[in-house]
Amino acid sequence: MHSSLYSLLLAVLFLALPGPASGRDPGPVIVVLGSSTAAGTGANPIDSAWVWRFTKYILQKDSSAKVINLAVGGYTTYDIMPTGFVPPANRPRPKEGHNITSALSYQPDVLIINLPSNDAASGYSVQEQLANYSLIVAQLTDPETRLFVSTTQPRNFADSSKVQTQVEMRDSTIRRFGPRTMDFWTDLATPDGTLKKEYDSGDGIHLNNAGHWILFERALEAGAAGAFSSDLRLYQVH
């Protein structure tokens, strides 16, 4: 084969390869980090889950938008820490592909974090969780990326100290993130901090369709839909 023809073929192949993040689609990008609630657990059918409803709402406003859902059941703040972070002993390492580093590789216009209760379930203190959030937030170097963080959610812990951790983390999240906080607690919790029966999917942890609807509304109330002006396109990354 002539060298000139070979060079031409190489050039064509190079142009056909997917581009880096800077060459992403022009529409707005929303990335969700989280655990089982954001992954849709408890909702039946799955399109009743809050992230799916949120996605449909966004696409009705702007059909060029993408919602990329990186949530995985069981995740804690440690699981979404930046790639390369070395956790203390007996703490999980960051999960590449589903952590803050991966989320930011999509160059999101909006980043949503929804970690309801697994940190408390694992015995991680409020101070520990807040320290993790500080490092996570420090990764957001693009001022155009808007961050929204959900409060904790009520869960039927047998250990009252874990319920107290949830309450304290709820309040700390509101103080830390202010108007960018999504209130995933109010109206879902009983006075003692457990999950109201009418929103319980049956395991005392996850929300049913009615509960997911409230989360969807709270995400909108917080402004997570932004200024995005219709078919459903949800990118659930496995």
Q: Which of 96, 136, 92, 97 is nearest to 118 (CA)?
A: 92
pLDDT for the residue 12? 32
pLDDT at 226: 76
pLDDT given at position 26: 72
DSSP string, 117-174: SHHHHTT--HHHHHHHHHHHHHT---TTPEEEEE-------SSHHHHHHHHHHHHHHH
Beta bridge partners of 235: 68
Q: Tens digits of per-residue pLDDT, 201-217?
A: 999 999 999 999 999 99
Query: Per-residue pLDDT tens for 103-138?
Result: 999 999 999 999 999 999 999 999 999 999 999 999
In whole angstroms, what is the distance from residue 35 CA to residue 191 CA? 25
pLDDT reading at 21 higher than 70 = no
Radius of gyration of the chain (CA): 20
> What is the reported pLDDT for 156?
98
CB 83 within 8 A of CB 101: yes
Contact assessment for residue 64 and residue 84, using Cβ atoms and an 8 Å cutoff: no
pLDDT, one tens digit per residue, over 131-190 is: 999 999 999 999 999 999 999 999 999 999 999 999 999 999 999 999 999 999 999 999
The answer on pLDDT for 99 being more than 50 is yes
Percent helix / strand / coil, the chain, rounded to 5: 40, 10, 50
Burial of 218: CB neighbours in 10 Å, binned 0-12, 13-18, 19+: buried
Q: Is 19 or 63 the better-scoring residue by pLDDT?
A: 63
Q: Quote the mean pLDDT of the chain.
A: 89
Q: Is the pLDDT of residue 237 over 80?
A: no
Go through the domains of the chain in sequence order and give each one's CATH number.
25-236 (3.40.50.1110)
